[in-house]
Structure 1
Amino acid sequence: MSELAIPNYSDLSIQNLANTLLSHFGAVPRGPKLRLDLDINDRVVLILIDGLSYLDLINAMGNSLPVSRLYRITSVFPTTTSTVLTTLFTGLSPGQHGVFGPNVYIKEIGTIVNTLSMGPVIGERDGLHKMGYDLKKLFPIKSTIFEELGNMGIRSRVYVPKGLSGGLSRITYAGAEIVEYVTPYDAIINASKFLSEYRVSFVHIYITTVDSAAHKYGPDSEECNAVIRETVDSVIRMAKKYMADATVLITADHGHDEVRSNVKANDVQGLMRHLHVPPYGDARAVYLKLSDKSSIDELTALLSRHNVAGHFLSRDDAINMGLFGETSSNVIDRVGDVIFIPNSGSAFIYLYKPDNEELLTLRGQHGGLTERELYIPLIQL
């Protein structure tokens, strides 16, 4: 297990940041708070830069990073956006809220669901909502931080890139006013105007630039390093200029692993004889639901013959290791019988849509538990 780091749900993860924020505003936390002594005032801005690992931030900027308060915290497992955002805005662990990755098998509706779009994996965006499903029953979330603040009369607003409202946002941002922005720059300026109108308020800004570059070019690329430097520098500079009266926290959801081999799971002959449903989860955190006549050993042997190597964990082993944090029996079976975490440098991808082979060209992938994927920055300005 030498390649695997474990999320620190006890006091130094993004779940603990969520519960620190809940507690700060006077709401009841859903778990332990950060052990860091953050100095937070009544106006809080939480900026999340998707795909920015702690290691890559340090490597790209080093001593030029213009902040004095930089901490290293962990993401959750799997290290993927839908899981992290749900944790961040509910205070619940993945094992409690049930959003176990971008693709999750939900037996109640008999299909694999894309949690980012909240539709069947080969269906349309918002498909579950349009079919009449109550997302808060499928994913047991009592309330978000935005709903808690709203109950106390505190205004909150979320800024996302154009086209990203709906889908997962129906869960994670419930209770907030959602505003689509053109660039991160206008998001920061408009957020500062919103903050100035209220004595107590909360703003979240979600930025995708680093994640997009890391996926396409790989986290080791000069393209990605340039995007990190420019994004982080401009966000910090503008936040200091326009949000001087607020507490500004900057963090991320996960980092990326540099991938040299994207293995197409569809091409592994005999794989589906061992499984009830196709592989799901994420490219580097794969859930396998075994057929009645299969075992982990048989599956491991099959994949090894196709040069697919990594860590195979039973669901019980993963729970006992604390990979999902506190778990609920209502949702934990969604992770399947076996969790497969490919070795660093490789990913295991099942194409639900045969023509979606662009996924096999990505140079950066995530979901796994290398230090680069798991450790993320927390900056306080």
Structure 2
Amino acid sequence: MNLYDLSREVRSVLKEDKRDIGGIIHKDKLAFVLVDGLGWNISRGIETSVEPIKIQSIFPSITVTVFATLLTAKRPGEHGILGWRIYNREEGRIVNLIKTLREQSIELDTFFTNTDSVFLMPEVATKSLMNKLQVVPYYTYWDGLYKFKESLENKPSKFIFFYIPYVDAVSHQYGPYHEATTATAKDVMKSLDLLSTRFKDKYTLLITSDHGHTTINKSVNLREDIEFMKEMEFPPYGDARSLMFKGKRPLSVLKKYGTLYEREEIERLIGGTTNVPDFLLIPDEGINVVYWEDDMEHTYKGSHGGLTKDEMEIPLYVYE
């Protein structure tokens, strides 16, 4: 099972068509918690009242891509959001979604429109892909946890979504195996486990993640690669662990950084044909490859977006 399969089951339950039921959800009311950055590699050391199931993220293993899949029940190759930098084919330019979402929401054809659903999101993330949905902002984790409890107790919503970014933020800074990351993950899961156990008779509660993290030991600045800069026909987009290129020929100089994939294999990975790049670079384990100046500002010790087990394997906790 992967997150695309799970999104189809959520849609089937919420829309009551029952076409894509996979045997995970058995109640009419559903609470879905997304703990950003909680990979299987981190979750293995956390004790909870239920045993997690190992499932797969989707590729690219990027938060905005996962959000788009969860909101549409479509593969990345179908909804076309393949990372924080996307290629706008109509305008022939690369769009930075992080900057765009600071100023405006982006229209997305989500199946949650006109459903009895509520989305609990950090205040800084309320401009997002969910402008037509009921979004309730929160300001700290404890505020969010309180509002989640209040929603479970007092609001008869059929679907409650709670997004938690803190494990991801700490893992980026310290790496996935650092004690700061594992302590954050344990604290988050301890409080969620208590709440989920309390309300599992009323709701099916699912706790999962968008991706895991892999340890980063090296960051490569493509602008310093003279051979690449001479050969480049169009700037890369995507992310530091999944770089995408438009061009008439392979950028052979990139092979020293990782594995290059061409269109047919890329379509298989993303599950569709929308905005498919001509070439895809998956950097070797432990390497971030950056091109844009704002990406160079970060010295991440944990990262994601690629295809390693640490990035793709995530836990699914089911409380019923």
Common topology (TM > 0.5): yes
Q: 1:224 aligns with which of 181, 206, 215?
A: 181
Q: Which deviations, in whole Å up to 9, do the C-alpha atoms of 1:204-224 show, x marking residues without a partner? A: 000011100111001121111
- Report deviation, 1:202: 0.8
- Aligned amino acid, residue 163 of structure 1: V
1:259–1:345 contact (8 Å) kept in structure 2: yes
Structure 2: gaps (5+ residues):
none
Determine the C-alpha separation between the residues in 1 that align with 2:199 and 2:140: 15
Aligned counterparts, 1:248-263, within 5 A: 248-263=205-220
1:72 partnered with 2:54 = yes
1:159 partnered with 2:132 = no
- Aligned amino acid, residue 115 of structure 1: L
Determine the C-alpha separation between the residues in 1 that align with 2:98 and 2:17: 27
Aligned counterparts, 1:325-364, within 5 A: 325=271, 327-328=272-273, 331-333=274-276, 336-353=277-294, 357-359=296-298, 361-364=299-302
Identity of aligned residues (%): 29
1:106 partnered with 2:95 = no
Determine the C-alpha separation between the residues in 2 that align with 1:76 and 1:87: 9
Determine the C-alpha separation between the residues in 1 that align with 2:80 and 2:16: 22
Aligned match of 1:144: 110
Structure 1: gaps (5+ residues):
1-11, 120-124, 130-134
2:152–2:199 contact (8 Å) kept in structure 1: no
Determine the C-alpha separation between the residues in 1 that align with 2:132 and 2:112: 5
Q: Using a 3 Å threshold, how does the CA distance of structure 1 residues 274 and 28 change in structure 2: closer, same or farther?
A: farther
Aligned match of 1:126: 103
Q: 2:197 aligns with which of 240, 245, 254?
A: 240
Aligned counterparts, 1:1-381, within 5 A: 12-27=1-16, 33=20, 35=22, 37-58=23-44, 60-61=45-46, 64-68=47-51, 70-118=52-100, 125-126=102-103, 135-136=106-107, 141=108, 143-147=109-113, 150=114, 154-166=115-127, 169=128, 171=129, 173-241=130-198, 245-290=202-247, 292=248, 295-296=249-250, 299-300=251-252, 302-303=253-254, 308-319=256-267, 322-325=268-271, 327-328=272-273, 331-333=274-276, 336-353=277-294, 357-359=296-298, 361-381=299-319
Q: Using a 3 Å threshold, how does the CA distance of structure 1 residues 66 and 197 change in structure 2: closer, same or farther?
A: closer
User: What secondary structure is seen at the aligned counterpart in 1 of 2:125?
Assistant: coil
Determine the C-alpha separation between the residues in 2 that align with 1:312 and 1:34: 36
Q: Which deviations, in whole Å up to 9, do the C-alpha atoms of 1:307-345 show, x marking residues without a partner? A: x421101122222xx2012x14xx233xx2110001111
User: What secondary structure is seen at the aligned counterpart in 1 of 2:145?
Assistant: helix
User: What secondary structure is seen at the aligned counterpart in 2 of 1:163?
Assistant: helix
- Aligned amino acid, residue 266 of structure 1: R
- Which range moved further: 173-182 or 15-24? 173-182
Q: TM-score by structure 2 length?
A: 0.91
Q: Using a 3 Å threshold, how does the CA distance of structure 1 residues 162 and 230 change in structure 2: closer, same or farther?
A: same
Aligned match of 1:132: none
2:48–2:193 contact (8 Å) kept in structure 1: no
Q: Pairwise CA RMSD of aligned residues?
A: 2.2
Determine the C-alpha separation between the residues in 1 that align with 2:151 and 2:133: 13
- Report deviation, 1:191: 3.0
Determine the C-alpha separation between the residues in 1 that align with 2:58 and 2:50: 25
